[in-house]
Amino acid sequence: MEKPQSHNELLPHLFREEYAKMTAVLCRHFGLRHIEIAEDIASETFLKASESWAINGIPENPTAWLYTVAKNKTKDYFKHISIFETKIKSDLKQDNHKQETDFGFNKQNISDSQLAMIFAVCNPINSNESQICLALQILCGFSVEEIANAFLSKTETIKKRLQRGRNNLRKDNFQIKSLNESEIQSRLKTVLKTLYLLFNEGYFSKSNNQFIRKELCSEAIRLILTLTDNPLTNTPQTNALLALMCFQSSRIEARTNEKGEAVLFDEQDKNRWDKSLIEKGNYFLVNATNGNEISKYHLEAGIAYWHTTDKKDKWKNILRLYNQLILIEYSPITALNRTFAFSKIHGHEKAIMEAEKLNLTHNSQYHELLGYLFAKSDIQKAIEHYEQAIKLTKSETEKQTLTKEIERLKRKNGR
């Protein structure tokens, strides 16, 4: 990725990459009950960077600068904020937390803090959906809009869910600490789902008018690699999810052209696929077979693997895996993807009947799929479905791609 040239370009990248890490270390120090203090210090650090870098220029090591300022602000907080003496100090003593300000933002501390924090946030005191929302916001730095997109929910619903979840965490009075094996096993499923949603928001982004957000995909892979480094979290499911992310990431560069327009799978330049990531995907998929469990991540990783090959019976294997996946966990997206694979084997006419049974009339991808399926037999119907997809999608990139396809079909139809 090209290095940003100004502080206005650099700071958003650093915010996404470092804010959550900074908050995790600070929160481990203050205690999760006082997460707002950690978030305030992290936010003030980036505000100071915005002000200072605009006047003095970007420092030689921007990341180190941020962590130095955060550490100094933490020391100042302990020295000067009266609330520490009146309330927080007694709470920290009660929570058995260290009160000294001598802590570091070294690589190991950041890694340990993030791993501990995500398991702390994914606490059974909250519902699974609340756990995921909290982890996406606190650990991954998601905005309310991004979380709403990930859950296909209204922003007000997510705001209320986050507020309830945070209140429950405060009342539970627990700490960010090393968890035992049973605690990790009980929460790992939610942690993996959180990282799955994080990756998907990057790979199929519908917020900020961006089609792909590479930094979110990279963040998800970085976090799940942390899980594979720990014997208690290096499970077959973890490896299967990591394999899926590698296979999907291998095609990121080919999913858009030089103009930033989306490129459909059938039209992608395979020379732009990252073969090293495909090899890593193969490696982690093999690791994922070290057990008897077949999870949705195993099946999705298998589907992604077959997409990277040109082997005989490729689409038959993909359809077979989708048939299994839809039984394990049904979703509209899975059903639509299965129908696309179905069309590759049984033809568009039969696939149209399969798609129409789903009746997902308020889903943009449903109309996009029908537009694709009708394009060979009924151009007018294809155009109508593409136009409906444009009305329903939030993605500007998708709108541009569909508009371009409509124009192509109109030229073909002599209009």
Q: Is residue 271 situated within a structural domain? A: no
**Using an 8 Å Cβ cutoff, are 183 and 119 in contact?**
yes
Q: Which CATH number do you get for residue 399?
A: 1.25.40.10
Q: Is residue 347 situated within a structural domain? A: yes
Long-range contacts of 181-190 (CB under 8 A, 24+ apart): 181/232, 183/119, 184/119, 184/232, 184/233, 186/124, 187/119, 187/122, 187/123, 187/124, 187/131, 188/233, 188/235, 188/237, 188/238, 189/237, 190/122, 190/128, 190/131, 190/132, 190/135
Q: Is residue 377 situated within a structural domain? A: yes
When pLDDT is cut at 50, 70 and 90, the band that residue 263 belongs to is confident
* Cβ neighbours of residue 265 closer than 8 Å, sequence gap 6 or more: 307
Mean pLDDT in the chain? 84
Q: Is residue 408 situated within a structural domain? A: yes
Statement: residue 208 has pLDDT above 70: no
**Using an 8 Å Cβ cutoff, are 213 and 201 in contact?**
yes
Q: Is residue 373 situated within a structural domain? A: yes
Q: Span 240-264, mean pLDDT?
A: 88
How far is C-alpha 44 from the geometric centre of its chain's CA atoms? 25
Q: Is residue 9 situated within a structural domain? A: no
Q: What is the pLDDT, as a whole number, of residue 80?
A: 66
**Using an 8 Å Cβ cutoff, are 50 and 95 in contact?**
no
* Cβ neighbours of residue 25 closer than 8 Å, sequence gap 6 or more: 103, 105, 109, 110, 113
pLDDT tens for 52-74 read 998 989 999 999 999 899 888 88
Q: Span 39-57, mean pLDDT?
A: 90
Cβ neighbours of 34 (radius 10 Å): 22
Orientation of helix 236-249 relative to helix 275-287, angle to 10°: 170
And the tokens for 171? 């009342």
Cβ neighbours of 282 (radius 10 Å): 15
Q: What is the pTM of this model?
A: 0.77
**Using an 8 Å Cβ cutoff, are 283 and 290 in contact?**
no
How far is C-alpha 168 from the geometric centre of its chain's CA atoms? 24
* DSSP label of 243: H
Q: Is residue 398 situated within a structural domain? A: yes
State the residue range of the domain holding 367: 329-415
Give the C-alpha separation, 169 to 125, whole Å.
8
* Number of domains making up the chain: 1
Give the C-alpha separation, 269 to 267, whole Å.
7
Q: Is residue 216 situated within a structural domain? A: no
When pLDDT is cut at 50, 70 and 90, the band that residue 243 belongs to is very high
